[in-house]
Amino acid sequence: MCGIVGYVGPQDARDVVLEGLRRLEYRGYDSAGIAVLADGALSTAKKAGKLANLEKVLADRPLPAATTGIGHTRWATHGGPSDANAHPHVSADGSVAVIHNGIIENFAPLRAECEATGIEFASETDTEVAAHLLAAAYREAPEGETRLADAMRAVCRRLEGAFTLVATHVDAPDTLVAARRSSPLVVGIGETDDGAAEYFLGSDVAAFIGHTRNALELGQDQVVEIDRARGVTVTDFHGAPVEPTAYTVDWDAAAAEKGGYDWFMLKEIAEQPQAIADTLLGRLGPNGELALDEVRLSDQELRDVDKIFVVACGTAYHAGLIAKYAIEHWTRIPVEVEVASEFRYRDPVLDRSTLVIVISQSGETMDTLMALRHAKDQKARVLAICNANGSTIPRESDAVLYTYAGPEIAVASTKGFLTQVVACYLVGLFLAQVRGMKFEDEVAAVVDDLRALPDAVASVLAEMEPVRGLARSLAGEDRMLFLGRHVGFPVALEGALKLKELAYIHAEGFAAGELKHGPIAVIDQGTPVVVVVPSPRSRESVHGKVVSNIQEVRARGARTIVIAEEGDDDVVPYADHLIRVPRTPTLLAPVVTTVPLQVLACEIADSRGLDVDQPRNLAKSVTVE
């Protein structure tokens, strides 16, 4: 999690860093802090709570103007949210300031080592260990231009776990040094209007997108030194030079602004038609063949696949559950869907004939990344679905399909989820085509159905005012149930998750066929039950079974909220509230049936006076295990 910003250049670092922190606050908002290097001394300010609390402190006690600075927004791991535990952390001698994302797993013995030398710790964090170690390593490093980088490399070789560290030292007023291991960090390279060079560091490109779209990827176990005079130097932890990969960010600062919406989430819900269209753009070649973004696997390797695992966390896991239905139907390959945090610990059976599909919006989700690495160790092939170009997960995968959702700032994923679902469909079709299960014209026909989805989602969004009114009437509820069958089951799970995330209402999603096996016991008078109804055209008449489920819960006093396609009149007598969606092919229906559930959760949370974009205890990108 955690938002990290660094700046070296001619502008006032205070303004640049605070601007970056505003863009990164979605990554963590337990506390925030800033350090600047001016007049040969470090000056810091930090405060528990959201960034606004820090800004109030700075308004009362401004830091000195400076051209080098670092900043941090925190999602707490070691030590609770407090002023003392907020970053930056400063070494005992006041020479070094450090900010950190991740977990230093061996911090306890390292802390004991520091305390044995007489150092008194000011916080409960693992990060403070790095500050003290770095100050000591700097004193021992040979003098020269790379002294701080040498010290950082020496410290990193001692650390265990996943971390991004950014540090500044009073002896190097125009220099920042940073390191990454299994935790995100990108470099921005820009210039001011008068042509002066400036450099940025960030947990992601949102930190500096207002200044430059030119970025550098940093790889695993690398240290970057940014010096205002000497530019950017990258090495591994042992000092060997590394040539970083440059890329251009394909969105601008305006894409990360609210654009007149009350919440980023509302804006991102509204952007879904365009995000789906962008994800589909250019996928079908002139001869009808389907194309992914990067494929480092041969057709024969894909034809040899006899088992697929889809591995993901949270909302992305629900996208994987939907993928299972489509991929198995189109390819006839057995598919298992796994929670990433459990995958490698249960010792799954993997070999060179196994394809592991990993899904991550940020490309840095730690549980998913570690599952990917386990799969690679077992010689399985890995295909990534990701929204972040240049992030770790796609870089370490054998094939990549990028979603083009653009920046998603709200913690609860909306357009990220729908584009992941669409990407899963594309992967399924791609595999079916390569393996000869579908001809090019058949693939093209499904792609045509996919291309109709943006308009279908737009039509759903145009009819959401009654859903908003319904949400306001549900704001006082303390629990809700969600039911679905076939591809509607993962949609029910996603609807329940959104409500829990945003409104803090206890909500559960169930396969409707399981209703009589336990969940029906919790239904009493007035219990809201949302039912995702499959199309009457769906396979094996599950539609009729779900209509029977609606009657069963209604007979026990439930307040039924029914999502059904246009023209489905069978549900009308049993729906207390009916939400219509356009007729869509069965396997693609989740793209339209999910949208009302997003709006419902968002509006309920807003009606309860909650922060829709930054729900408590959560952060956007989970970069720790």
Using only C-alpha atoms, the chain has a radius of gyration, in whole angstroms, of 25
Q: Buried b vs exposed e over 511-548: b needs ≥16 C-beta within 10 Å?
A: bbbebeeebbeebeeebbbbbbbbbbebeeebbeebbe
Tokens of residue 43, six digits: 């000056």
Tokens of residue 106, six digits: 């061996």
Cite the active site residues. 2, 620
Cα angle: 605, vertex 607, 612; to 5 degrees: 35
Q: CA–CA separation, 365 vs 378, rounded Å?
A: 20
Would strands 354-360 and 528-532 be described as parallel, antiparallel, or unpaired?
A: unpaired
CB 71 within 8 A of CB 20: yes
Q: Which residues pair with 552 in a beta bridge?
A: none
Residue count of the chain: 625
Helices (H), 146-261: 147-156
Which helix (H) or strand (E) element contains residue 493?
helix 488-503
Dihedral angle of Cα 521, 523, 524, 526, to the nearest 10 degrees:
180
Cα angle: 613, vertex 510, 335; to 5 degrees: 90
State how far the alpha carbon of 45 is from the alpha carbons of 13, 14, 28, 34, 100, in Å. 14, 11, 17, 6, 16
Dihedral angle of Cα 48, 263, 496, 620, to the nearest 10 degrees:
-50
Q: Which of 552, 563, 560, 559 is nearest to 519 (CA)?
A: 552
State how far the alpha carbon of 428 is from the alpha carbons of 290, 343, 368, in Å. 11, 22, 20
Q: CA–CA separation, 71 vs 31, rounded Å?
A: 11
Q: Which of 129, 261, 249 is nearest to 187 (CA)?
A: 249
Q: How many CA atoms lie within 13 A of 471 on its CB side?
A: 22
Residue 443 burial (CB count, 10 A) = 22
Tokens of residue 267, six digits: 């804006």
Helices (H), 241-395: 264-270, 272-280, 299-303, 314-331, 340-343, 366-377, 392-395
Q: Is the backbone peptide bond immediately before 88 cis, with ω within 30 degrees of 0?
A: yes
Tokens of residue 264, six digits: 């980023």
Q: CA–CA separation, 303 vs 610, rounded Å?
A: 50
Return the SS3 of 440. Answer: helix
CA 391 to chain centre: 11
Q: Is the backbone peptide bond immediately before 536 cis, with ω within 30 degrees of 0?
A: no
Q: CA–CA separation, 58 vs 79, rounded Å?
A: 24
* Block residue for tokens 């069958």: 485
Residue type, 405: A
Residue 101 burial (CB count, 10 A) = 31
Q: Which residues pair with 290 in a beta bridge?
A: 284
Q: CA–CA separation, 493 vs 317, rounded Å?
A: 10
